Amino acid sequence: MDTARLTKAILEEAPIHIIEHMALVLTTIAIAVFIAVPAGVILTRVGYKKFANPALNMLNVFLTIPAFAFIAAAMPILGIGYKPAIVVLTLQSLLPIARNTIVGLLEVDEGLKEAAKGMGMPVRKILFEIELPLAAPVILNGIRTATVFVVSAATLAGFIGAGGLGVLISKGLNLFLKEYIIIGATLGALLAIILDRILGYIENKYTRLACR
């Protein structure tokens, strides 16, 4: 098969893998936000702040392990496919979200919180109406960082049967066809850039609105 026909065939196959890749990324980030943001909130409360650094150090260990090695280590326990990929990617994406949640909340002016308390505002209301809205730009930045990382790391999921753009790269390596590798890697890079721009736009827009 000549290069033009092969490229066309790969591009016709690519959309399903893009959808699979997006599903991996969105599922991972949704789970990570669900875990990391509440954990970050708890670690900024009185009595729990002393656990913040140990918790972040533990999450940093997950991030320093190469994703492929992490997935390989998880396979004997979780098997192959979607499940181990989601577990590993989620564990590796927790750090930037949790860290930014903690940093964002700690940067909220204590004077504002004290003023709210003085007005009789309940602690829960202070959290949801003052602290989290003011910390949101920093938290969004953490989600943005985690998303770009997951888009890249999710490529490895294709090697263990979890789908995504890694399938194209894996196929290219197995068949010794560079076109699969080039197109798979290029689409992965484009996806990372697009999601980074979208989340950057949301982050900047929210920051401008919060400053008004």
What sign results for the dihedral spanned by CA atoms 13, 182, 159, 145? negative
- Give the pTM: 0.91
pLDDT band at 154 (very low <50, low <70, confident <90, very high): very high
Distance of CA 196 to the CA centre of its chain: 11
* 138 has a pLDDT exceeding 90: yes
Q: What is the pLDDT of residue 210?
A: 64
Instruction: Work out how many domains the chain is built from and give that number.
Output: 1
Q: Using an 8 Å Cβ cutoff, are 138 and 103 in contact? A: yes
CATH of the domain at 165: 1.10.3720.10
Selection from 63, 65, 43 nearest residue 53 by Cα: 43
Residue that the structure tokens 């400053």 belong to: 211
Side chain identity at 53, as an amino acid letter?
N
Alpha helical stretches, state H, 1-158: 3-42, 52-64, 67-78, 82-106, 110-118, 123-126, 132-153
Task: Pick the range with the lowest mean pLDDT from 29-38, 49-58, 203-212.
Answer: 203-212
Evaluate whether 45 touches 103 at the Cβ level (below 8 Å).
no
> What are the φ/ψ torsions at residue 48 (nearest 5 degrees)?
-115, -10
In which domain, by residue range, is 145 found?
3-211
Give 69's pLDDT tier (boundaries 50, 70, 90): confident
Task: Compute the average pLDDT of residues 115-144.
Answer: 93
